[in-house]
Structure 1
Amino acid sequence: MYILIVDDDLVDRKLIKKMLISDGSQLHDITEVTCVTEGLSAIENTHFDIILLDYNMPKEDGIEMLLEMRAKPKLGNTAIIMISSSENSTLAIECIEAGAQDFLPKGDITRSSLNKALIYAKKRFEAEQRMHDSYLAVKHMAERDQLTGLSNRYHFEEILKVMIANNKRTKNSVALLALDLDNFKHINDTLGHNVGDQILIQTVTRINHCLRRDEGFARLGGDEFAVIIGGISNINQIGMIANRILANVSEPFLHNGRTINCSVSIGSAIYPQDATESHELLKCADIAMYRSKQNGKAKISFYKEQYQYEFSRRVDIQNKIKENLEQENFRIFYQPVYCSKRQKISGVEALIRWPDSDISYTPDEFIPIAEECRLIVTLGEWIISTALQQLSLWQTRFKIPLNLSINISPIQLQSEGLLAYLLAAVKQYDVNVNSIILEITETAFIKDNEEVTDILTTLSNNGFRIALDDFGMGYSSISHLISYPIDIVKLDKSMQSSDGEKGKRLKVIEGLSLMLKKLDFDIVAEGIETQAQHNLCKQLEIDYLQGFLFSRPMPANDIDLLLTKNADDSI
């Protein structure tokens, strides 16, 4: 057994060594030193099974060496027996609590007691070491993400707290990056979670290549990650690292010969400029990351105070959407669509409106938020049910083939239950499926998704008519008119010419009208606000007209009055 004796008293060392040598049951390799410094130096070069450590020495007490060893990995890897000329039990407890395996008063040391102490101390230490190893393993599991091996949220937040505390003293800046993979849910939903896990692992590898070793990197959950960048002296440092990450992650992934595209959105917040506490800094970085998502994804956004207001507003709207859905507080207004030939109402478009309350939001504000948080599916079902019920009442009362247009979000198109819900509602309210027009914007076609093509084809095959809404606004493609089962094209109000306008806009409207008629589409002109625009539509023989010149969106009761007037005019 390799034994180190650390004691400044020569007589005591000789006595202990003599007792160890006189024990004939086993041989010992014994090293003697006179102080803590020499002891620490000795254990750097040699592994000892046991250290006999004197508590009281001139320069440093033995307990200081004990504490330093127990602070090392593997607890210093050596069993320690404290020895002292004192028999004070309080001193003995102090030594045991500090990490010693035994305590021997020098006056009680005999060959037998020393031999037993050596054996027991070694066995105790081995047991303690096994317990410590188990603790470290459990601690590692508790602090690490099992898939990627990165720090988890709990460990990351602890690291961030320490980093901020250290930089408070040094007065350095700390940057926090919040990262979220774009459209990762689509990968999981279409290719499976096994493929998604492989993409996450590859993403971690790519991001690691962009970071220094001393930068904290964690998986906070799902496809959310975070990076701590310390010692920031210039904001350009953050931009350089973030742009490297954006470029690396945006490179196509390969899985079993298949190319998978995935990007990342990044938000950045800086201590102490944006926040001085770890949880606030995380919040600010998250808000900036959502800004990147809103701005088109695959971007970095730096936190600004105004984002806090916008984010809070979005959260408020989201919560209110849930509340109003549960209480069925939303309202539906209907805007008439007129047949230009008969100059009568041919149908209505159902338009969702915020409940009548002190604080109100426009559809342009709350619909995108409902889409982002997937509440649009539930909201859409409520619109379908409420509008079809109202259509049934009108058709029964006025005995006319009134059409109903309902706007369908791209998110709803991806919902597996859309067709089943529509068919069930049509059956429940006993309306003709051909009187239902589903309005789709071209944003649903941007990625030429096969699933969108399939669901639109299925809806069309089941008798629903498909209208392409807002045609001519921003992104428009003639190929969509051919590739998808579209029956009706609604010209966006931005296509309407101003009074007396004779330029390109007028020629575009004329050309589009002619082309759409050649392709046998029904045409609806939206946004008719002036008599000149109305006259042009009549000149171009556009089938249907909609706009403020004829009627604004209105509650169902006001539509009743219009339909009653229409019926009276027909007599």
Structure 2
Amino acid sequence: MYILIVDDDIVDRKLIRKMLMTDGMQLHSITEVESVSEGLYAIEDMHFDVILLDYSMPKEDGIELLREMRAKPNLGNTAIIMISTSENPSLALKCIEAGAQDFLPKNDITSASLNKAILFAKKRFESEQRMLESYLAVKRMAERDQLTGLSNRYHFEEILKSTIASNIRSKNSVALLVIDIDNFKNINDTLGHNVGDEILKQLVSRINNCLRRDEGFARLGGDEFAVIIGGISQLSQIGKVATRILNHTAEPFVIDNTTISCGVSIGSAIYPTDATHSHDLLKCADIAMYRSKQSGKGKNSFYKEQYQYEFSRRVEIQNNIKNYLKNDAFRLFYQPVYCVKTHKICGVEALIRWPDVTPFYNPDEFIPIAEESRFINELGNWVISTALKQLAQWQNKYSDTLNMAINISPVQLQSECFVEKLLVEVNKYQINTHNITLEVTETALIEDNLKIADVLNSLSVKGFKIALDDFGMGYSSISHLTTYPINIVKLDKSMQVAESEKSIKIIEGLSLMLKALDFEIIAEGIETQSQHFLCKELNINFMQGFLFSKAIPAENIEQLLIDCCLSQK
């Protein structure tokens, strides 16, 4: 056993050595030093199993060596027995609390007691080490993300607090980057969580290559990550790191021979400019990241105070959507669609409206938020049920040929039970599927999602009409007209506003093309008599717009149905 004796008294050292050597059961390699500084040098040079450390020495107390050893992991794996001329119990307790395994008064030391203390101290230390290793293992599990090995949210927040505190002293700024993977949920939904997990691991590797060793990197949860950059003196430093991350993560991932493209969006916030507390800084970076998402994804946005207002507004809308759904408070309005030939209402489009409360929000504001929060599925189910119930009443009262158009979100089309729930409502109200038009925008088709294509084909086979809404708004692709089971094309209202010779020729050309392909055409946004006349000249099938009626409650539609002289049963 390798033993180090640290004692300034040469007589005591020789006595201890003699007691150790008289134990015939043990063979010891003994080193003697007479000061704490010499003891530290000895420890640096070689490993000792046990240190016999005198508490009272001239320049430094032995307890200083004890504390320094226990503070250094590479020098702290040795059992230590404190020895002293004092028999004070409080001193013994002080040494034990500082990390010693035992305490022996010099007057009580005998060969048997010394060797017994060494043996027990060694075993006690080994037991303490096992407990420490177990604690550290649990601590690592508590602080680390199991999939990526990064710090988790709890550990990250502790690191952020510490980084801010150290930069306060150095008067430097701290940047916090929140990183979120774009369209990650679609990957998990379509390719499975195993593929999603592999992308997360590869993405972590790529981001790590963009960072310095001293930059904190953590997984906050799901597909959200964060990076801490300390010692910031210029904004350009943050921009350079963010740009490197964006460029490295923009490259496609290859998983099981499948190429997958999914970049990231980044939000940046700066201490102390944007916030002075860690949790506020994280909130600011999170808000900036959402701004990047809203601005088209794949970019970095620096936090601005106005984003806080916009974010709070979004949160308020999201909470209200949840409450209004629970209380059945949303309203459904209907805008009539007129047949050009008969000048009568042939159907209506169901349009959801915010409850009649203050503040009031337009569909353009709350529908995207409902889609992001996935409340759109519940909201869409309510629209379908309410609209089909109303259609059944009008068909029984006025005409069984009346049609109902319902707007369907891309999120709904990707929901597992969308078709099933739609058919339940159709059967519940005994409505012919040919009288139901499901309107989708080209944004739902632009990524060529196979799941959406399968759902639309399934609905078409069951007799539902599929309408392509907002055609001509900017995303228009002729391939969508042939790839998907489209029956009806709705010309975007923006095409009706301009009445120049050039815009008229464009509308005329589109109309001729769509008719040649056997599509029914609905012109939206008809507001003037000249637009009405143009649609009649071009033999466009149907029209809707403020010239005829804005979207109105169901009771007002009834009067229009009567005025149009639809036959009653």
Shared fold per TM-score greater than 0.5: yes
- Which amino acid in the other structure matches residue 544 of structure 1? F
TM-score under structure 2 normalisation? 0.98
* Higher deviation after alignment, 6-15 or 382-391: 6-15
The 1-side partners of 2:206 and 2:567 are apart by 71
Match of 1:506 in 2: 504
- Supply the RMSD in Å over aligned alpha carbons: 1.5
Match of 1:542 in 2: 540
CA contact (8 A) 1:497 1:506 kept: no
Alignment of structure 1 residues 250-399 onto 2, 5 Å: 250-399=250-399
The 2-side partners of 1:444 and 1:55 are apart by 77
Shift of 1:25: 2.7
- Which amino acid in the other structure matches residue 93 of structure 1? L
CA contact (8 A) 2:472 2:492 kept: yes
- Which amino acid in the other structure matches residue 530 of structure 1? T
The 2-side partners of 1:136 and 1:570 are apart by 80
Evaluate the alpha carbon distance shift between residue 100 and residue 398 of structure 1 in structure 2; reply closer, same or farther with a 3 A threshold: same
2:527 is the counterpart of 1:522: no
Q: Encode CA deviations 1:290-322: one digit per residue, 9 max, x unaligned.
A: 111111111111111111111111011001001
Which residues of structure 2 form unaligned runs of 5+?
none
The 1-side partners of 2:459 and 2:290 are apart by 34
The 1-side partners of 2:314 and 2:346 are apart by 37
- Which amino acid in the other structure matches residue 328 of structure 2? E
TM-score under structure 1 normalisation? 0.97
Give the SS at the match of 1:490: strand
Match of 1:166 in 2: 166
Match of 1:567 in 2: 565
Match of 2:181 in 1: 181
CA contact (8 A) 2:80 2:100 kept: yes
Q: Encode CA deviations 1:37-62: one digit per residue, 9 max, x unaligned.
A: 11111100011111111111111111
Q: Encode CA deviations 1:232-273: one digit per residue, 9 max, x unaligned.
A: 111111111111111111111112222121211111111111
Evaluate the alpha carbon distance shift between residue 56 and residue 531 of structure 1 in structure 2; reply closer, same or farther with a 3 A threshold: same
The 2-side partners of 1:122 and 1:7 are apart by 20
- Which amino acid in the other structure matches residue 370 of structure 1? A
- Which amino acid in the other structure matches residue 505 of structure 2? K
Give the SS at the match of 1:567: coil
The 2-side partners of 1:191 and 1:543 are apart by 42
Match of 2:136 in 1: 136
The 1-side partners of 2:117 and 2:568 are apart by 113
Evaluate the alpha carbon distance shift between residue 167 and residue 509 of structure 1 in structure 2; reply closer, same or farther with a 3 A threshold: same
Match of 1:45 in 2: 45
Evaluate the alpha carbon distance shift between residue 260 and residue 176 of structure 1 in structure 2; reply closer, same or farther with a 3 A threshold: same
- Which amino acid in the other structure matches residue 411 of structure 1? V
Identity of aligned residues (%): 70
CA contact (8 A) 2:6 2:52 kept: yes
Match of 1:407 in 2: 407
Match of 2:93 in 1: 93
Q: Encode CA deviations 1:96-139: one digit per residue, 9 max, x unaligned.
A: 11111111111111122112111111111111111111111111
CA contact (8 A) 1:398 1:567 kept: no
The 1-side partners of 2:528 and 2:22 are apart by 116
The 2-side partners of 1:17 and 1:142 are apart by 46
Shift of 1:182: 1.2
The 1-side partners of 2:513 and 2:189 are apart by 39
- Which amino acid in the other structure matches residue 218 of structure 1? A
Evaluate the alpha carbon distance shift between residue 355 and residue 519 of structure 1 in structure 2; reply closer, same or farther with a 3 A threshold: same
Shift of 1:569: 9.6
- Which amino acid in the other structure matches residue 97 of structure 1? E
- Which amino acid in the other structure matches residue 392 of structure 1? A
The 1-side partners of 2:112 and 2:450 are apart by 85
Q: Encode CA deviations 1:493-520: one digit per residue, 9 max, x unaligned.
A: 111154xx44211110111111111112
Evaluate the alpha carbon distance shift between residue 556 and residue 23 of structure 1 in structure 2; reply closer, same or farther with a 3 A threshold: same
Which residues of structure 1 form unaligned runs of 5+?
none
Shift of 1:75: 6.5
Shift of 1:568: 7.6
CA contact (8 A) 2:43 2:75 kept: no
Match of 2:111 in 1: 111
Match of 1:208 in 2: 208
